[in-house]
Amino acid sequence: MEITAEKQKQVEKIVKNRGLKFAVVFGSRANGKARENSDLDIGILDEKEETYRRFGCLFSDFSKIFQGYNVDLRMIKGSEPVFLYNVLVRGKFLGGDEIAFHNLRFFAYKNFIDSKPLFDLKMKILEKQQKLLKQKIKYA
């Protein structure tokens, strides 16, 4: 997805006025695999208290900038390693503190790599459970 200079300027204004650390676009619109009806995933790092009212204001702000897209706004603070990796390592910086973005991006990558053996083990356990369930269903 191409972000125009005007939209970039509007994002920077929201980030500054709302006190956000940064915003990042991720998902199919960021990696070029979007379909016509794909939503626009935007992750934000907000250091202020997350409230429904604040989220609603931020959602409204970003929806006005990206009219014509179904905006899916996600707060990334405290997210689990796989999600954080997908947002920060595979996503594209939209605006805000670029140094903070790259610092958290490095952390997300390192945390994901450190956690990968646990994810692999979890996948093996799930595969075994599925196999056992299929056998139980077969003999039921």
| CB atoms closer than 10 angstroms to residue 131 | 10
Strand arrangement of the beta sheet that strand 20-26 belongs to: 71-75, 40-46, 20-26, 92-96
pTM here is 0.82
Domain map (residue ranges) of the chain: 3-114
Q: Which superfamily is assigned to 3-114 in CATH?
A: Beta Polymerase, domain 2 (3.30.460.10)
pLDDT for res 32: 86
> What are the start-end ranges of the E strands in the chain?
20-26, 40-46, 71-75, 92-96
Tokens 């005007």 belong to which residue? 6
What pLDDT digit, counting tens, does each position of 10-62 carry?
A: 999 999 999 999 999 999 989 888 888 899 999 999 988 889 999 999 999 99
Task: Give 118's pLDDT tier (boundaries 50, 70, 90).
Answer: confident
